[in-house]
Chains A and B, each alone.
Chain A
Amino acid sequence: QKEVEQNSGPLSVPEGAIASLNCTYSDRGSQSFFWYRQYSGKSPELIMSIYSNGDKEDGRFTAQLNKASQYVSLLIRDSQPSDSATYLCAVLPRGGADGLTFGKGTHLIIQP
C-alpha cells in the first residue's frame, strides 16, 4: 500500500518567518517528489519538484529530500499572507505506472 503522510494542521506561522512543511512516504523505491499549493476552491498548482537527495531552492521555496529516511520537506522563507493555502506532497512510486500518490495536505496559515 503506497502511503504519503502529512500533518493536516493547521500550521500557523507569523508573517516573515520560515514555514516548514513535512511529508513521509512508504514506498522506498519512490523516484520523484512534488509539492503542490492549493488555495481554497481552486485546483492544485505545482510549485516544486525534487528527484535526488539534498536541497533544491527556487526563490523563497526550498525542497529537501532524504530518501534514506523517506522524508520530504518544503521550507517557505519570508512567509507572506498569500502563502496561506493547503500544501500537498506527492510521490511518484517505483515504476511510476500508477501515477502520483498524494498526501492529504497541510493547511498553512500565515498570520499578518
Chain B
Amino acid sequence: DVKVTQSSRYLVKRTGEKVFLECVQDMDHENMFWYRQDPGLGLRLIYFSYDVKMKEKGDIPEGYSVSREKKERFSLILESASTNQTSMYLCASSSLGGYTFGSGTRLTVV
C-alpha cells in the first residue's frame, strides 16, 4: 500500500511566521497535491506537482508556495502565516487518478 506521511499531526504557529509542511510518499508516484479542508468549504486544492521541480497553482494558491526537489517529497510553505490559514492541510499522492491521502496536519495560527 502507498504510504503518504505528513511530518506533523498538529502545529501551532504565530502570525507572520514562515511555516513548512512536509509530505513524503513511498511509491514513486509522479503526482502530488496539497489541499486544505475547512468546514462547509470542503477540500480546496492549493498546489500540485506532476514531476520534480514542477509545480502548478490550484484554486487557492495565494499566500502559499511549494517545493519539490525530490520525487518523493512535496513541501507546502506558508510564507507569512495568517490566522485565515488556520485549517486542516492534506497531502495526497497518485499515479492513476485515485489519491492516497496523508493523515493531515491541523495547523492553528495564533
Interface residues of A in 31-66 (CB under 8 A from B): 32, 34, 42-46, 49
User: CA A96 – CA B98 in complex, angstroms?
Assistant: 11
**Within residues 59 to 92 of chain A, which ones have a CB less than 8 A from any CB in chain B?**
88, 90, 92
Check B103 for interface membership: any CB of A closer than 8 A.
Answer: yes
A14 CA to B81 CA, complexed, in Å:
44
Interface-centre pick from A45, A98, A99 (highest chain B CB count, 10 A): A99
The number of chain B residues with a CB under 8 A from chain A is: 20
Asked, given contacts A92-B97, A99-B48, whether A43 binds B33 with beta carbons under 8 Å apart, the answer is: no
Q: What 0/1 pattern do residues 17 to 59 of B give for CB contact below 8 A with A?
A: 0000000000000010100000011110100100000001010
Number of A interface residues at 8 Å Cβ cutoff, please give it.
19
State the B residues within 8 Å of A (CB). 31, 33, 40-43, 45, 48, 56, 58, 90, 94, 97-104
Residues of A within 8 A of B (CB): 32, 34, 42-46, 49, 88, 90, 92, 96, 98-100, 102-105
A-B contact list, 24 entries, CB within 8 Å: A34-B97, A34-B98, A34-B99, A44-B43, A44-B90, A44-B99, A45-B101, A46-B98, A46-B100, A49-B97, A49-B98, A88-B43, A90-B99, A92-B97, A96-B97, A99-B31, A99-B45, A99-B48, A100-B97, A102-B42, A102-B43, A103-B42, A104-B41, A105-B42
